[in-house]
Structure 1
């Protein structure tokens, strides 16, 4: 995955989002909502920090295996004492005096007597400094193995960040168009309630004139009470959905979604194209591949420890006077045997590689199945929505006939009320089907790693269902 491209896209999506929040409660398109979500998401910000941390760790280890220079300085004070015996010197002196001529020997008693021992003490302050160089000339490829693992860890962090971004887009689709569906359902129920109230008033007048019976009047009142309850519930659901959307976007006030529900009457492109796209773009596969590279780097590191190591070294004292001491050379180290079973460790890391390869194969199969499931869900919702058109046409025609019958005196107000409520039910069900289409499309694009393509599909859809559509 291209790290720079990922974060450049995130920055572009975040641009221009701030002014919308200041208008809390104003109309909000889906594109604006997406900008707000991506720019204000704590989850995405945390993912960005994880990516940045991985990149910095990799940059910090770029020079692994290169030379290192150190300066060592010491300052110290010492006190030393020694007790030196003078007995050997005294015996030697006595022997010398015994061999002197008689004239000189007479003078010997006048010489001072040496003590049996002498106590010496020395105190001083000293300082020393040195510069040392250590250069690993060959370490069996250990440095490359470590850098390779850090590269793979950075790619894994990018894959996790991409998965978070895809998940956030899908969450936004759920909340945004869920609010649209709830608003449309509430308006349909409120519109039906207004019609039922009119018919209830008409039924009251007809009862007073003796056109209908008391039973028919009570039936109209019961229908009104039920319509009021359904309208209240639908409005409560719409308010809750709007609150969920506002909190998802961290908006200070309620927002009004303006991008309508949609359905494309034309079928999706062939399934295989989506499966191929998933194999190229799905962040889960990128993560599995990063895990495979980490396992390979670990195996290389284990093998590097089997090889000899060659080190260059040098040290020179830093003195203000005199000729400084120095040393330089090359050291070779090759572990012939130790208590660690290197063969077992190498086999363990090889199993990790095999595990990652098998996991990738399983992930390819699972993702292909998920893509097919979502692709079928989109197509099923599309065909169901189109099939429901006949039901809505029938409900509208029945409403027209019931209205004409009541006007001509051959129908009842209750029949008309039932017909209006049935039309509301059919329209609500079609809106729910359109919502299923939108959610299935979002899930399909997420499973193929193409959540950023959702807006393009939305713009190309030829059926738009606004919340206030008749």
Structure 2
């Protein structure tokens, strides 16, 4: 069994020579491969295009319009009802003309008679209408709605950028936790392997002492049990490493490579700046607070937009027919320009109520933002205190570590002299291993909470700077 664990340790060493991954490398790979981060970046990109599209409202809108219409019947005017009365009137007039003038009037009346046999209907619109035109519309004044719309789109774009940064900061914190969780598991494995080697050495010594009659068989059995317990802890640590590595590469967004070791070790966080500094940074940069401030500005613009509903809209319009056929007589067959105005004078007090709604939303955002700023100060204080607590724990554990190492030395010497039992030696080794692991756990907690503190302050990008200070 000893040879099996030696082989495992050699395999881990070989893997470390094959490929290494620093925290900075892991961060760069996460920024390029994490699908969630890419999705939020696409949302930011979409918001920026929306902002650009809103700027077009300041410019004239030019379009080409073509249409074809088929009427059920041609449009016409009928004068047939006047035909008979007019014909009768001419006949009566002819009878009233004096005889000397009859020869001159009768030829004229004869030439008019064929007209009365015709259909007195005038067709002024054929059934098929074809139109092709260029149309212009340019909003000259909209009560400020265009300007407000552009400001709103800009604010939404800024909110999307903050959301992207918030997501990235959150992922950096998660990456730091997963990365150093792997390191913690690997350090725990190293400690457990060392404990296993010590237990095996003690077991070997116990067998020799038993043969020489220096210790009872029960002491050898206790030493063997300590080896079995140490082997179980090593196997558990190996599983912990596998799970931690799977979680790490899940955050990075890549498949777990077979040969990888992490080169950035657990580190003690350098003395921090005063807590007031981090509280101020959080007040200014915490993404949720920044978004709340932007949303407050959105509500300001919403109030202005609702007030703009009381003002008229004025637009310049123009049309030029490029080609037409059978165009209605009511439409000019050339070009037309004009100015249009629309003004809603009364709509059941809807505009007034919308203004009150916008004001209420603005006050709500103000209150929520004020409370968030207070809460974030408490959160920063908690995270800052946790780091300092772990620093104190680490300093205390260093003294305990020296004591545990001395205890192991004394117990081994006492066992060799027959003054101590195998249980005492095993307990001393377990105590030493537990203290070493607690030291690494304290470092892990410091590194994890530091990432959370920087995330709260909106300074996650500076996390790698703290690694360089170790």
TM-score band w.r.t. shorter chain: 0.7 to 0.9
Aligned counterparts of 1:157 and 1:80: Cα–Cα separation in 2:
57
Task: Give the conservation status (yes or no) of the 8 Å contact 1:30–1:258.
Answer: yes
Counterpart for residue 300 of structure 1: 304
Question: Aligned with 1:261: secondary structure?
Answer: coil
User: Is 2:426 the partner of 1:429?
Assistant: no
Aligned counterparts of 1:346 and 1:111: Cα–Cα separation in 2:
79
Aligned counterparts of 1:248 and 1:325: Cα–Cα separation in 2:
65
Q: Which residue, out of 21, 38, 41, partners 1:45?
A: 38
Question: May I ask how many residue pairs the two structures share in their alignment?
Answer: 436
Aligned counterparts of 1:411 and 1:179: Cα–Cα separation in 2:
37
Q: Which residue, out of 381, 389, 399, partners 2:390?
A: 381
More helix per residue: 2
Alpha carbons of structure 1 residues 316 and 189: separation in structure 2 relative to 1, 3 Å: closer
Alpha carbons of structure 1 residues 77 and 387: separation in structure 2 relative to 1, 3 Å: closer
Counterpart for residue 185 of structure 2: 182
Task: Give the conservation status (yes or no) of the 8 Å contact 1:24–1:251.
Answer: no
Counterpart for residue 10 of structure 1: none
Q: CA deviation at 1:71?
A: 4.2
Q: CA deviation at 1:52?
A: 0.5
User: Is 2:292 the partner of 1:291?
Assistant: no
Aligned counterparts of 2:394 and 2:127: Cα–Cα separation in 1:
98
**Structure 1: which 5+ runs fail to align?**
1-22, 462-470
Question: Aligned with 1:263: secondary structure?
Answer: coil
Aligned counterparts of 1:302 and 1:180: Cα–Cα separation in 2:
57
Alpha carbons of structure 1 residues 167 and 214: separation in structure 2 relative to 1, 3 Å: same
User: Is 2:313 the partner of 1:309?
Assistant: yes
User: Is 2:241 the partner of 1:256?
Assistant: no
Counterpart for residue 8 of structure 1: none
Aligned counterparts of 1:298 and 1:460: Cα–Cα separation in 2:
48
Alpha carbons of structure 1 residues 349 and 426: separation in structure 2 relative to 1, 3 Å: same
Counterpart for residue 366 of structure 1: 375
The CA RMSD over aligned residues, in Å, is 3.0
Counterpart for residue 224 of structure 1: 227
Alpha carbons of structure 1 residues 222 and 308: separation in structure 2 relative to 1, 3 Å: same
Task: Give the conservation status (yes or no) of the 8 Å contact 1:25–1:253.
Answer: no
Matches within 5 A, 1:28-107: 28-75=21-68, 79=74, 82=78, 84-85=80-81, 86-99=83-96, 101=99
Counterpart for residue 18 of structure 1: none
Task: Give the conservation status (yes or no) of the 8 Å contact 2:246–2:256.
Answer: no
Aligned counterparts of 2:140 and 2:281: Cα–Cα separation in 1:
45
Q: Which residue, out of 143, 149, 161, partners 1:158?
A: 161
Aligned counterparts of 1:329 and 1:238: Cα–Cα separation in 2:
76
**Structure 2: which 5+ runs fail to align?**
1-15, 326-331
Alpha carbons of structure 1 residues 220 and 132: separation in structure 2 relative to 1, 3 Å: closer
Question: Aligned with 2:55: secondary structure?
Answer: coil
> For residues 108-137 of structure 1, what are the alpha-carbon distances to aligned partners after superposition, in whole Å with 9 as ceiling and x for unaligned?
9x9697667637586686645544433322
Q: 324-333 or 239-248, which moves further after superposition?
A: 324-333
Alpha carbons of structure 1 residues 361 and 96: separation in structure 2 relative to 1, 3 Å: same
Q: CA deviation at 1:290?
A: 1.4
Counterpart for residue 12 of structure 2: none
Task: Give the conservation status (yes or no) of the 8 Å contact 2:245–2:256.
Answer: no
Question: Aligned with 1:61: secondary structure?
Answer: helix
Aligned counterparts of 2:395 and 2:221: Cα–Cα separation in 1:
38
Counterpart for residue 394 of structure 1: 403
Q: 285-294 or 206-215, which moves further after superposition?
A: 206-215
Q: CA deviation at 1:72?
A: 4.1
Task: Give the conservation status (yes or no) of the 8 Å contact 1:136–1:311.
Answer: yes
Q: 88-97 or 136-145, which moves further after superposition?
A: 88-97
Counterpart for residue 354 of structure 2: 345
Q: CA deviation at 1:143?
A: 0.8
Task: Give the conservation status (yes or no) of the 8 Å contact 1:399–1:419.
Answer: yes
Task: Give the conservation status (yes or no) of the 8 Å contact 2:171–2:251.
Answer: no
Alpha carbons of structure 1 residues 404 and 203: separation in structure 2 relative to 1, 3 Å: closer
Counterpart for residue 7 of structure 1: none
Q: 228-237 or 430-439, which moves further after superposition?
A: 228-237
Aligned counterparts of 1:206 and 1:259: Cα–Cα separation in 2:
44
- Give the TM-score of the pair, scaled to structure 2: 0.84
Counterpart for residue 235 of structure 1: 238
Aligned counterparts of 1:124 and 1:292: Cα–Cα separation in 2:
58
Q: CA deviation at 1:438?
A: 0.9
> For residues 353-391 of structure 1, what are the alpha-carbon distances to aligned partners after superposition, in whole Å with 9 as ceiling and x for unaligned?
111221221111111111110000000000110111111
Aligned counterparts of 2:176 and 2:455: Cα–Cα separation in 1:
11
Aligned counterparts of 1:32 and 1:130: Cα–Cα separation in 2:
60
Question: Aligned with 1:64: secondary structure?
Answer: helix
Aligned counterparts of 1:223 and 1:24: Cα–Cα separation in 2:
32
Aligned counterparts of 2:197 and 2:271: Cα–Cα separation in 1:
38
Alpha carbons of structure 1 residues 320 and 425: separation in structure 2 relative to 1, 3 Å: closer
